[in-house]
Structure 1
Amino acid sequence: MADKIIIRRATREDADTIAHFNRQMAEETEGKSLDRETVRNGVQALFADPSRGFYLVAVRDERIVGSLMITTEWSDWRNGTFWWIQSVYVRPEARRSGVYRALHRAVRRQARDVEEVCGLRLYVERGNEAARETYEAMGMTETSYRMYEEML
């Protein structure tokens, strides 16, 4: 079947594609132009230290059409780990064709196989209604938390 989506763990050979996706996502969702080398080094750093997380890629017709990153957060309240879904990107021509759904389902399946994982989380840019609708369609609910940061 030509339209079949295959989800797999990303490898170092996928780093350039993932870095490109990350830069595209930042530009599309936040209007930010990220430094190519910094992003590439960041992607490579995750491959160099798997304790930081992992990437999944969606492949259709032997071409990567989407990706996401999983990082972890320990919750002492739940005595468990949340998997954070981050750096989600689907090529524009592949959107609304089940790519993110396939990625999300793979994350959910893998998380359920890891006893300490207690839930999935992600954050979304306030004005990104399409993403919010997609995440809600996957069964995720908006929380009451606001996110703050201090860049160092």
Structure 2
Amino acid sequence: MVRNERNAFKLCIVLTIMFLRMASMGDAEKIAKNNVMLAMESENLEINYEDTLKGVKELIKHSEKGFYVVAEENGEIIGQVMVTYEWSDWRGMDIWWLQSIYVSKKWRRKGIMKMLIEKIKKMAGNNVFALRLYVHESNGNAIEAYKKVGMKKMPYFIFSMEM
């Protein structure tokens, strides 16, 4: 065997196949774990896993409330986006809110979030006025990532009243 052939055998090529798909109930635990990590990473907020799991399952069960799109590689969820709906009477169309956006650390900066958002844009087609999201003001990495995929800062404040 010549030297080049030996070197060729030393090369290890790993074929990875990534799927973008709607989440199912079997994905709920992983999505909930991702959401717990997301809250800690983005807002230094500790949220209850069991409450989060209940919320994830509720959304998956009731698609009229919204849905998740997940990126899956070799059977593992590596990214996710939750979409919820807001009716705009001004536009006569839905606005889709992107929430719980999470990509596993080792898959960040590889275009996974962009692919997820592109998939959601295709799903929305001409039936949705806009995709919107909110982000914590201190989450500079996420803000830059959203700008890179074409999102723009809007002139709104978010107000909240806990019940």
TM-score bracket, shorter-length normalisation = over 0.9
Question: Contact (CA 8 Å) 1:82, 1:121: kept in 2 or not?
Answer: yes
Residue of 77, 80, 84 corresponding to 2:93: 80
Which residue number in structure 2 is paired with residue 2 of structure 1? 15
RMSD over equivalenced CA pairs, Å: 1.2
Which residue number in structure 2 is paired with residue 65 of structure 1? 78
Residue of 26, 39, 49 corresponding to 1:36: 49
Residue of 110, 135, 149 corresponding to 1:124: 135
Residue of 150, 153, 157 corresponding to 1:139: 150
Q: Which moved more, 1:54-63 or 1:80-89?
A: 54-63
Aligned equivalents of 2:150, 2:28: Cα separation in 1: 30
Q: CA deviation at 1:50?
A: 1.0
Aligned equivalents of 1:15, 1:131: Cα separation in 2: 23
Larger Rg: 2
Which residue number in structure 1 is paired with residue 162 of structure 2? 151
Residue of 113, 129, 135 corresponding to 1:100: 113
Equivalent AA in structure 2 for residue 132 of structure 1: I
Q: CA deviation at 1:129?
A: 1.2
Which residue number in structure 1 is paired with residue 27 of structure 2? 14
Higher relative contact order (CA 8 A, sep 6+): 1
TM superposition outliers: structure 1 runs of 4+ over 6 Å: none
TM value normalised by structure 1: 0.94
Equivalent AA in structure 1 for residue 87 of structure 2: W
Which residue number in structure 1 is paired with residue 61 of structure 2? 48
Q: For each residue in 1:6-56, what CA deviation from the matched residue of structure 2 results, as whole angstroms up to 9, or x when unmatched?
A: 100000000000000010000111111111110000001112211110001
Give unpaired runs (5+ residues) of structure 2.
Answer: 1-13
Aligned equivalents of 1:139, 1:65: Cα separation in 2: 22
